[in-house]
C-alpha cells in the first residue's frame, strides 16, 4: 500500500508492482483484460511523468546554501534537464498508450471456452455434485 509520506518506499513499491506486472503479462490468458490494463498503465505513466517534473523542480531553484562548491550548480542543472526531458518523454508515452487504449476499445474478444473433461474419471475427481 502506498504510504503517501515516504516517496522512496512508494517508488520501491511501484517498482515491485511493475516487476510483477511484467511477469504476469508475459502470457495474457484473457485478452479482455488488456483494455483495463492499458487504462491503468496510461495513468501510471502520466503520474510518473508528473513525478519526474516535480523532482526536477527541486533542482530548478538556486539553493546555493545547500551546495558545496560552484561546480554542483552545473550538475544540478544537468539533473533538472534530464528529469524534465524524461518527464516529457513519459507524456508522449502516455499519449501512445492512450491511443492504443482507445483502439483496444474497438476489439471484441470471445470469452474463453470452458474446459471439457476428457474422461469420466477426470469429472469424478472434481469437487461438487457433478450433476
pLDDT above 70 (res 108): yes
Phi, psi of 32 (to 5 degrees): -65, -15
Which tens digit of pLDDT belongs to each residue from 77-103?
999 999 999 999 999 999 999 999 999
Which tens digit of pLDDT belongs to each residue from 36-93?
999 999 999 999 999 999 999 998 877 666 666 667 778 889 999 999 999 999 999 9
Q: Please state the rounded mean pLDDT for residues 105-116.
A: 87
Q: How far is CA 101 from CA 27, 40, 45, in A?
A: 19, 10, 13
- Give the least confident one: 5-14, 26-35, 108-117: 108-117
Amino acid at each position: 500500500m502506498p504510504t503517501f509520506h515516504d516517496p522512496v518506499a512508494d517508488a520501491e513499491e511501484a517498482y515491485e508492482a511493475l516487476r510483477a506486472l511484467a511477469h504476469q503479462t508475459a502470457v495474457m490468458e484473457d485478452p479482455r483484460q488488456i483494455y483495463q490494463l492499458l487504462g491503468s498503465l496510461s495513468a501510471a505513466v502520466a503520474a510518473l511523468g508528473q513525478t519526474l517534473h516535480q523532482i526536477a523542480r527541486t533542482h530548478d531553484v538556486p539553493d546555493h546554501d545547500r551546495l558545496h562548491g560552484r561546480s554542483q550548480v552545473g550538475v544540478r542543472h544537468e539533473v533538472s534537464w534530464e528529469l524534465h526531458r524524461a518527464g516529457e518523454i513519459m507524456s508522449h508515452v502516455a499519449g501512445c498508450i492512450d491511443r492504443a487504449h482507445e483502439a483496444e476499445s474497438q476489439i471484441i474478444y470471445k470469452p474463453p471456452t470452458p474446459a471439457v473433461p476428457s474422461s469420466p474419471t477426470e469429472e469424478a475427481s472434481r469437487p461438487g455434485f457433478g450433476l
